[in-house]
Each structure stands twice: as C-alpha cells, then as structure tokens.
C-alpha cells in the first residue's frame, strides 16, 4: 500500500508541467512603468513549449526600465510584446487639470477616457461642443483622489498617455479656444 502511494505521488509530481509566469495584478495602461510590485505569479500550462517564450517567467530577471507599449488587463499574463524600455514607446504623459464637476469620480489609473474641449460663450456659459473629443480613448495613468488636489485648486488633475502627435493636436486645439472647459468622459 505504501509503495503505491509513493509511486502515485511521484507520478503526479512528474505530470505537473506548469510553469510560473508573471501576470499583471491590476489594469495598466500604455506608458506605465512595470515593476515586480505590479506583478503576481501564476502557474500555467502551455500546450506548446515555445509559447513560454512570449511571456516573462518568474525565473527571468526583469529589466529595471520596463514600460508598457499597450494596455494590459488585471490578471493578464505579461507578454513580452507589450513592453519596451522606458522612453522607447514614443508615448508621452500629459497632465490635464479638470474642474471637479467635469470628470467622473470613478476615473482612476487604468481608466480609458475621452477628453473634450468646450469653448465658452461671451456670457461665460459653455458653447456647444464640437462633438469630437480632443483626445479619444486615452489611458489614465495617474488620477489622484479628489481630496488630494481639489481643495487647493478647485480642479482635479489626471495624467493621460498619448502619442506625440496626439499631444500636439490637443495643445493646438486648446490654443484655438479662449479659456476652454475641459470635460472628461469615462468610456470603459
């Protein structure tokens, strides 16, 4: 009996062909730095041994300057194709100050948002928006809670990640308007 238990345990241990790989603990957007603190270990079994080459094993030494080039969802395995060295992605972080009433409270790091610019009429009221967002489907990488920055300025700041072309277009549109109202809409 004891021999069969030991043999069975050895057989099961030999059958465990899973490997520990890194997965992202929470939603992360493009341009965010990835550190070991952002990751959790997951044991997975790949049907093809070559598939492991597409992910980071927990045995791999992670480079210290990993930056996401695309968004990765909570629990998703960290693909090698979704990261690059810091600064190589061509993405920029842009800080936007928004009146607290113009940004949903649920907007936080990882949210995908549209940013609208609305011109102000002569009497100080908002004019009709153009209908097109100035920044479309951009990822928020930092959004301090309202209580952290609202009291000092009356605004809430959010940092979004955009391409250089998007940043240039955003600032050009903003420069065309006199004191525009910035409105953020959460889309995810």
Element (H, E) at 152: helix 146-153
Specify the domain boundaries for CATH 3.90.1210.10 within the chain.
15-85
Q: Is 2 helix (H, G, I), strand (E, B) or coil?
A: helix
pLDDT tens for 84-132 read 876 666 788 899 999 988 999 888 887 889 999 988 765 655 555 567 8
pLDDT of residue 38: 92
Q: What is the DSSP letter of 60?
A: S
Q: What distance in Å separates the CA atoms of residue 140 and residue 104, rounded to the nearest whole number? A: 13
Q: What is the CATH number of domain 15-85?
A: 3.90.1210.10
Per the CB < 8 A criterion, the answer to whether 116 and 62 are in contact is no
**Short-list 74, 173, 163, CA closest to 116:** 173
pLDDT tens for 31-74 read 788 899 999 999 999 988 889 889 999 998 888 888 888 888 88
| pTM across the whole model | 0.63
Long-range contacts for 36-43 (Cβ within 8 Å, ≥24 apart)?
36/62, 39/78, 42/75, 42/77, 43/18, 43/19
The mean predicted confidence, pLDDT, of the chain is: 82
């Amino acid at each position: 009996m004891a021999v069969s238990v030991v043999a069975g345990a050895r057989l099961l241990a030999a059958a465990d062909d899973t490997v520990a790989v890194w997965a992202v603990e929470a939603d992360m957007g493009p341009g965010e730095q990835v550190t070991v603190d952002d990751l959790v270990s997951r044991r997975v079994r790949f049907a093809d041994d070559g598939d492991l080459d597409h992910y980071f094993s927990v045995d791999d030494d992670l480079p210290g300057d990993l930056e996401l080039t695309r968004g990765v969802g909570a629990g998703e395995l960290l693909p090698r194709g979704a990261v690059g060295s810091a600064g190589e992605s061509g993405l920029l972080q842009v800080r936007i100050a928004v009146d607290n009433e113009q940004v949903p409270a649920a907007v936080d790091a990882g949210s995908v948002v549209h940013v609208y610019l609305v011109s102000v009429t002569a009497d100080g009221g908002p004019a009709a928006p153009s209908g097109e967002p100035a920044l479309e489907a951009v990822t928020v990488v930092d959004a301090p809670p309202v209580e952290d920055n609202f009291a000092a300025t009356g605004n809430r700041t959010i940092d979004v990640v955009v391409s250089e072309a998007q940043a240039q277009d955003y600032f050009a549109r903003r420069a065309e308007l006199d004191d525009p109202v910035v409105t953020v809409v959460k889309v995810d």
